[in-house]
Amino acid sequence: MRKCIAETVSTFALVFAGTGAIVVNDISGGSITHVGISLTFGLIVMVMIYSVGDISGAHMNPAVTVGFLFAGRIDKKEAPPLIVSQCAGAILASGLLKLLFPSHQTLGATIPSGPVWQSFTLELILTFILMFVILNVSTGAKEKGIMAGVAVGGTVGLEALFAGPISGASMNPARSLGPALVSGELKHLWIYLTATFIGALLAYLVFKAIRGEVNSCKWTP
């Protein structure tokens, strides 16, 4: 229960701050800028890792949770409630943003600005890099350490900086699900619900090939 509450709160904070920055930037004539939005996503991830990383691992991302599951760092019974909690936090955040800014149409939803294959490929690679970094800086399923928050938050901010204008740089099914459901922008949601999981699983395979880590849980995928 503590882990689920922590994941709900941290994912709520991620989506509220990150997509909130997009919404405020739109209605204020670009006062936050793309750089500011990227920094907001990176910073909120960093502070949530330092806040609840020792409780739930501060995954805030179903793809990351699945990556940890295949890496044997969490038990298969833990994953479903954590993922549900993450999605619930994202939807709650988008619902609150809808109440605050009812005239905004997309609420920061991730929408490709180019060909579908382009955004799909970007999201796969971005999530691969993010998951690879997380697996290397985390201890078990926990992302809390002296520099773990900086490394993971920095990765999110970095990837948002260069890929955000094309694919939205989601790297996170929950982050895309919340705004899409509340705003009704569902057409391209499938990209962010598939490419991210594939990227996370590929990262696990490469991490295992490099590190040779043996699963610590009894269940082996």
Token pair belonging to 121 = 């490929």
pTM, two decimals, is 0.91
Would the pLDDT of 11 be above 70?
yes
More confident residue, 139 or 155: 155
Would the pLDDT of 218 be above 50?
no
Mean pLDDT across the chain, nearest whole number? 92
Identify the pLDDT of residue 142.
Answer: 57
Identify the pLDDT of residue 138.
Answer: 82
User: How far is Cα 77 from Cα 191, in angstroms, rounded to an integer?
Assistant: 26
Identify the pLDDT of residue 162.
Answer: 95
Radius of gyration of the chain (CA): 16
Token pair belonging to 37 = 């939005």
Q: What distances in angstroms separate CA 67 from CA 100, 165, 204, 220, one per listed residue?
A: 34, 26, 6, 13
Q: By mean pLDDT, which of 10-24, 161-175, 180-194, 207-221 is the weakest?
A: 207-221
Q: Look at phi and psi of residue 31 and say left if phi exceeds 0, alpha if psi is from -120 to 50, else beta.
A: alpha
Per residue in 163-175, pLDDT (tens digit) is 999 999 999 999 9
Would the pLDDT of 183 be above 70?
yes
Identify the pLDDT of residue 144.
Answer: 53
CB 38 within 8 Å of CB 160: yes
Identify the pLDDT of residue 178.
Answer: 97
Token pair belonging to 111 = 């929408």
Per residue in 117-144, pLDDT (tens digit) is 999 999 999 999 999 999 998 876 555 5
User: How far is Cα 92 from Cα 97, in angstroms, rounded to an integer?
Assistant: 9
* Helix (DSSP H) and strand (DSSP E) numbers for the chain: 8, 0
Provide the sign of the torsion angle of the four alpha carbons 71, 62, 129, 43, taken in this order. negative
Identify the pLDDT of residue 145.
Answer: 58
Q: What percent of the chain has pLDDT over 70?
A: 92
Mean pLDDT value of segment 151-172? 96
CATH fit for domain 2-98+107-211, picks 3.10.400.10, 3.40.50.300, 2.60.120.10, 1.20.1080.10: 1.20.1080.10
Per residue in 68-109, pLDDT (tens digit) is 999 988 888 999 999 999 999 999 999 999 999 999 999 999
User: How far is Cα 74 from Cα 93, in angstroms, rounded to an integer?
Assistant: 26
Cα–Cα nearest to 188, from 198, 200, 199, 176:
176
Token pair belonging to 197 = 């999981």
